[in-house]
Amino acid sequence: MNTLNRRKFLSSSALLATSSLITVTANAAAKDPMPAKWDEEADIIVVGSGFAGLAAAAEAKNANAGNVIVLEKMRAPGGNSVINGGIFAVPGSPAQVKLGIKDSPELLASDMIAAGLGYGYPEKIKAMTEEALPTYEWTVKELGVQYNDKVGQEGGHSVPRHVLLIHLSFNGL
């Protein structure tokens, strides 16, 4: 059995997904100069290949929005999302339900506000926490993401609530 750390897995998965889904434009190497002439055209340009950028590109492609290009400043796709290691805080996830863990968007919001020492924007925190479970479900249904059936607990969280991405396929997009 091959072993692969999460960072390498996510980086490889993002590269594989973007190559089959969309065109990724990035600097190939630090020594490569910027092109003297940029003449590529696209219907949709997404800046950044992190979770949000790839989600936007996937939705644009699913909506038949035309030619979608993702621009990434780093040599490898994934952005800061690669750093998170594939964990996703999801109140009410199937794994939590299976384990009998009581959680809610409101509890996650309370934890986030406390951990952020009250500096967060409550309306943005509320929107994010309320959309966590629907977003989780979207990644499973639309992107073919598979998560483990366990939950973990990071600092600042009052209950175990994060799931871990174990497989990303993009369902042949």
171 Cβ contact list (under 8 Å, min separation 6):
142, 143, 144
Chain centroid, CA 90 distance in Å:
13
> 26-30, 38-42, 118-122, 149-153: which has the minimum mean pLDDT?
26-30
The dihedral built from the CA positions of residue 29, 51, 99 and 146, taken in this order, carries a sign that is: negative
Q: What's the pLDDT at 26?
A: 42
Answer whether residue 128 shows pLDDT above 70: yes
Tell me which of 42 and 15 has the higher pLDDT. 42
Answer whether residue 17 shows pLDDT above 60: no
Answer whether residue 84 shows pLDDT above 70: yes
Q: Average the pLDDT over 56-78 and give the result.
A: 89
